[in-house]
Amino acid sequence: MPDQLIFATEVILNGLMAGVLYALVALGFVLIYKASGIFNYAQGVMALFAAMTLVGIMNGQVPFAHLINAVFGGHITHFGWHIPALLAILLTMGVMVLLAWCVQRFVMRHLVGQEPIILFMATIGLAYFLEGVADLMWGSEIKTLDVGLPQGINLWIDEATFNIFGYGFFIDNLDIVATVIAALLVAALVAFSQYTKQGRAMRAVADDHQAALSVGISLNFIWIMVWSVAGFVALVAGIMWGTKSGVQFSLSLIALKALPVLMLGGFTSIPGAIVGGLIIGVGEKLFEFAIGPLVGGATENWFAYVLALIFLVFRPQGLFGEKIIERV
Amino acid sequence: MFYREAGDFKVSYRDDSQTFPIKFDRYRYYVVLAVAFGVIPFLINDYWANALLLPFLIYAIAAIGLNILVGYCGQVSLGTGGFMAVGAYSCYKLMTAFPEVSMFIHVILAGGITALVGVLFGLPSLRIKGFYLAVATLAAQFFLVWLFNRVPWFYNYSASGQINAPERDVFGIIITGPNAPAWATYLFCLVFLALSALIARNLTRGTTGRTWMAIRDMDIAAEIIGVNPLKAKMSAFAVSSFFIGISGALFFALYLGAVEVGEAFGIQKSFLVLFMVIIGGLGSIFGSFAGAAFLVLLPVVLKVVGADWLGWPTDIVAHLQLVIVGALIILFLILEPHGLAQLWRVAKEKLRLWPFPY
């Protein structure tokens, strides 16, 4: 194979891996949107919050240490213990469930029946709020997250491709793990929504709030559950991205990256989120590889949006979105 | 008692359709104008101008612009930062290319260029609606910021990649650059704000504004009763971008002086202006002022209270600010989804009856 083609193949493979991570974030959006019609802008910040909480719990940091020190004086920072990763993940999940309850109890419950755009704005407010709380709780410095996931170049693929093409592909172990986990997560979510009672109730709520209410499904419970599941997805995404590039503010910006994925795939479709993520991941890496050097690089910042924009002009509901029917 | 229609007799159609039908409102409006133009310029100093007044005036223009698009025409846009950058950079290119032309013309031309760009990015709104459109406008935001960052022609090949406002004057008075007196920059911005508010208010009262509102309330129904959606949406994008472009030009040339595009016109700016519009009140010119004033004042007040009085470290105050802004937005949406403007309206209703209960 010619060199260019080999490089392009490697770029595509890496793009697929990146796309999986985008899809992971987009999944959280789709879940909440399907179940409650809320476009949850705070999903990215939830991932950041989850990752920071995980790091904080693992290192035994005292929450709000900075604030407490500033108000009362004193120099507390750590409890002085380290918690194993698995337990910490479980504890963080608990925090995310608590967060879901708070969001439902203090925000969404008061906004039932408002226009979608108002709900969207509320989640932007929530994003700011959570970001501030996360910084106050755990400090805003960049943290490293290590829950024992394998990292670095996958030597096996490197060797195998070297033997075939005479050029070793660089594929990060972490990306492979992320792909596997994302596949498991999607399978679990699909199974959950198809075969469990709560999952069916969730789909019923997504179809029609009033009809669901009338057959005795508790909307409150379902929404808390949906936000918890979204929190769980955020936690998984936070772990992946946090391990990859450190836990820092830019983590919350992946939410913005997930938006074009959603537009491509359609807001209401789980397979759409996956396929959209892969298309965006491969597309932006290939574009950067082929066109990027000609126009000054860093095209990854906008390519996804422009691709989605052009795509939407021809298919406004996205790849797998439900057909938009409008009546006066 | 004093705030009522009674006794104020309208004798012509002109009187009947004036902006402020109640006498008290009218006088209040003249007093505000007189104070803003005649008193503040004599009292102003650099601190007040740079910390409060200039950002308020400039953001108010941007908020009026965005309010036309979001509040009146119902097209949600997250590209405000990008459009402000267009205004800033076109103003910069004009200022350096034609140094002898008055700043007034530069700023207005910058607004015009932004209007063209706005129409271009507004075209998808004919096909895409709601959230999809909001996300689509993000394309404008990221693409424009990238463009100004990467194409050296826009920043005149300067080594730092920044743009710096050269010294320019209006009627012989320097208004840009470090030597500009505070009162001159203030007055310059004020003139633009007053004109923008006047134009916006009258546009939204007339045919154009009504077609925008028809599109906002239900675009298909509007189309059926004969509103041309192409014209209505494109004119909303154009007018809105025009104001946003002016505010971007002023923000760069008069307020900051030197701009790095990613920092000054990033996505955060888009959200900031959007929050101003929401907190102030969608579909209200007064709301744009109130929202801009509120969000300009809030950080300053928090900084004074937190960092200066309580002596907390600045990073904690900055984080607290995020928490408070976020909580306030949620609180506002829960208690009063129509923003400060609605509170004002309710207060006025109460005032008309006061001191009687009914």
Taken in order A244, A245, A251, A255, the sign of the CA dihedral is negative
- Of all residues in chain B, what percent carry a pLDDT higher than 70? 100
In 3D, which of B121, B102, B71, B96 has the Cα closest to residue B245? B121
pLDDT for position A185: 85
CB contact under 8 A, A128 and B128: no
Query: What CATH code is carried by the domain that includes residue A107?
Result: 1.10.3470
What pLDDT score was predicted for residue B184? 87
Question: Could you tell me if A309 lies within 8 Å of chain B, comparing CB atoms?
Answer: yes
Nearest-CA distance B172 → chain A (Å): 41
Give residues with Cβ within 8 angstroms of B173, minimum separation 6: B181, B184
* CA separation for the pair A91, B203 (Å, rounded): 56
CB distance B146–A302 less than 8 Å? Answer: yes
Tens-place pLDDT, residues A175-228:
788 888 888 888 888 888 888 888 888 888 877 778 888 998 888 888 888 889
Tell me the nearest-neighbour CA distance from B127 into chain A, angstroms: 6
B223-243 pLDDT per residue, tens:
999 999 999 999 999 999 999
| Least confident interval from A209-218, A251-260, B328-337 | A251-260
Confidence of residue A156 (pLDDT cuts 50, 70, 90): confident
Q: Does B315 touch chain A (CB under 8 A)?
A: yes
How much is the pLDDT for B65? Answer: 95
Amino acid residing at B139: A
On whether any CB of chain B is under 8 Å from the CB of A121, the answer is yes
In what helix (H) or strand (E) does residue B271 lie, and over which residues does it extend?
A: helix B267-280
Q: Which of B10, B126, B25 is nearest to A313 (CA)?
A: B126
Give the up-direction half-sphere exposure of residue B259: CA atoms within 13 A in the CB hemisphere.
34
Which tens digit of pLDDT belongs to each residue from A105-147?
888 888 877 777 778 888 888 988 998 888 888 877 777 777 7
Question: What residue type is assigned to position B294 of the chain?
Answer: F
Written as one letter, the residue type at A200 is R
Query: Any idea what the Cα angle at residue A134 is, between residues A64 and A237, rounded to 5°?
Result: 140
- The pLDDT of residue B112 is above 90: yes
Rounded to an integer, the average pLDDT of A56-75 is 75
CA dihedral B73→B75→B79→B84, nearest 10 degrees, is 0
For A308, other C-beta atoms within 10 Å of its C-beta total: 28
| pLDDT attached to residue B202 | 92
Q: Is residue A262 within 8 Å of A30, Cβ to Cβ?
A: yes
**A40's tokens:** 């949850």
Tens-place pLDDT, residues B87-97: 999 999 998 88
Beta bridge partners of A61: A78
The answer as to whether A225 is a domain residue is yes
Q: Which residues pair with residue A103 across a beta bridge?
A: none
Closest-CA distance, B250 to chain A, in angstroms, reads 26
- Cα B239 to the center of its chain, rounded Å: 12
| CA B261 – CA B79 distance, rounded (Å) | 14
Distance CA B281, CA B325 (A): 16
Most confident segment among A79-88, A256-265, B57-66: B57-66
Whether A328 is in a domain gets the answer no
Q: Whole-angstrom Cα distance, residue A174 to residue A151?
A: 5
Best CA proximity match to A21, nearest among A171, A157, A131, A183: A183
Question: Is the Cβ pair A128, B322 closer than 8 Å?
Answer: yes
- Rounded to an integer, the average pLDDT of B330-347 is 85
Is A308–B136 a contact, with Cβ atoms under 8 angstroms apart?
A: yes
**Rounded distance between C-alpha atoms, residue A115 and residue A70, angstroms:** 41
Asked if residue A100 lies in contact with residue A228, where contact means CB atoms within 8 angstroms, the answer is yes
| Chain A residues with CB-CB distance to B150 below 8 A | 295-298
Does A129 sit within 8 Å of B327, measured CB to CB? yes
Please count the other Cβ atoms lying within 10 Å of the Cβ belonging to residue A79: 13
d(CA B56, CA B288): 10
- What's the token pair of residue B2? 């004093």
Give the containing element (helix H, strand E) for B259.
strand B258-259
Q: Which residues contact B291 (CB under 8 A, 6 or more apart)?
A: B63, B275, B276, B277, B278, B279, B280, B281, B339, B340
- Residue A69: closest CA among chain B residues belongs to which residue? B312
CA distances, B309 to each of A17, A64, A290, B302 (Å): 51, 21, 56, 10
| Greater model confidence, A165 or B254 | B254
B28 contacts: CB under 8 Å, gap ≥ 6: none
Please state, in angstroms and as integers, the Cα–Cα distance from residue A327 to each residue in A98, A324, B114, B160, following that order: 40, 10, 35, 54
Choice between A87 and A159, residue whose per-residue pLDDT is larger: A87
Instruction: Calculate the alpha carbon distances from A278 to A33, A265, A269, A283 in Å.
Output: 20, 10, 14, 8
Q: Given phi > 0 = left and psi -120 to 50 = alpha, else beta, which region is B177?
A: left
Predicted ipTM of the assembly: 0.80
B258 DSSP β-pair partners: B164
User: Rounded mean pLDDT of chain B?
Assistant: 87
Task: Find the range with the poorest average confidence among B70-74, B112-116, B242-246, B337-341.
Answer: B337-341
Under the banding of pLDDT at 50, 70 and 90, the label for residue A251 is confident
3-state secondary structure chain A: CCHHHHHHHHHHHHHHHHHHHHHHHHHHHHHHHHHHCCCCCCHHHHHHHHHHHHHHHHHCECCCHHHHHHHHCCCCCECCCCCCHHHHHHHHHHHHHHHHHHHHHHHHHHHCCCCHHHHHHHHHHHHHHHHHHHHHHHCCCCECCCCCCCCCECHHHHHHHHHHHCCCCCCEHHHHHHHHHHHHHHHHHHHHHHHCHHHHHHHHHHHCHHHHHHCCCCHHHHHHHHHHHHHHHHHHHHHHHHHHHCECHHHHHHHHHHHHHHHHHCCCCHHHHHHHHHHHHHHHHHHHHHCHHHHCCCCHHHHHHHHHHHHHHHCCCCCCCCCCCCCC
Pick from A125, A140, A295: which is nearest to B333 by CB?
A125
B72 lies in some domain: yes
List B169's β-bridge partners, or say none.
Answer: B174
| Chain B CB contacts of A133 below 8 Å | 323
DSSP-derived secondary structure for B99-116: TTS-HHHHHHHHHHHHHH
- Mean pLDDT for chain A? 81
- Cβ–Cβ below 8 Å for A262 and B135: yes
* A23 vs A149: which has the higher pLDDT: A23
Q: Does B129 touch chain A (CB under 8 A)?
A: yes
How wide is the angle at C-alpha B345 spanned by C-alphas B341 and B351, nearest 5°?
140
Question: Quick one: what percent of chain B has pLDDT higher than 90?
Answer: 33
Task: State which residues form the domain around A41.
Answer: 3-314
Q: Is B14 on the interface with A (CB under 8 A)?
A: no
pLDDT in tens, B129-173: 777 788 788 888 988 988 888 888 888 888 787 888 888 878 877
Tell me what pLDDT residue B168 has: 83
Question: Looking at residues B60-76, what average pLDDT do you find?
Answer: 92
Contacts of B334 in chain A (CB under 8 A): 107, 110-111, 122
Q: Is A254 inside any structural domain?
A: yes
- Nearest of B76, B5, B320, B44 to residue B181 by alpha carbon: B44
Total domains in the fold of chain A: 1
pLDDT at B246: 95
Please state the domain count of chain B: 1
Which residue in B has a C-alpha nearest to residue A66's C-alpha? B316
B79: which DSSP letter? Answer: -
Q: CATH number of the domain that B248 lies in?
A: 1.10.3470
Residue of A nearest to B271 (CA): A124
In a domain, A323, yes or no: no
Residue A248 vs residue B228, higher pLDDT: B228
Q: What is the pLDDT of residue B353?
A: 82
**Which of A69, A117, A287 is most worth mutating to test chain B (most B CB atoms within 10 A of its CB)?**
A117
B349 within domain boundaries: yes
Phi, psi of B119 (to 5 degrees): -60, -40
Interface test with A, best of B138, B274, B336 (most A CBs within 10 A): B138
- Cα-flanking dihedrals φ and ψ of residue B57, to 5°? -60, -45
The helix (H) or strand (E) run that includes residue B170 is strand B169-170
Q: What is the pTM of this model?
A: 0.87
Contact B319 A295 (CB under 8 A): no
Chain B residues near residue A70 by CB distance under 8 angstroms: 312-313, 316
**Which range of residues forms the domain containing residue B47?**
18-353
Q: Is residue B1 part of a domain?
A: no
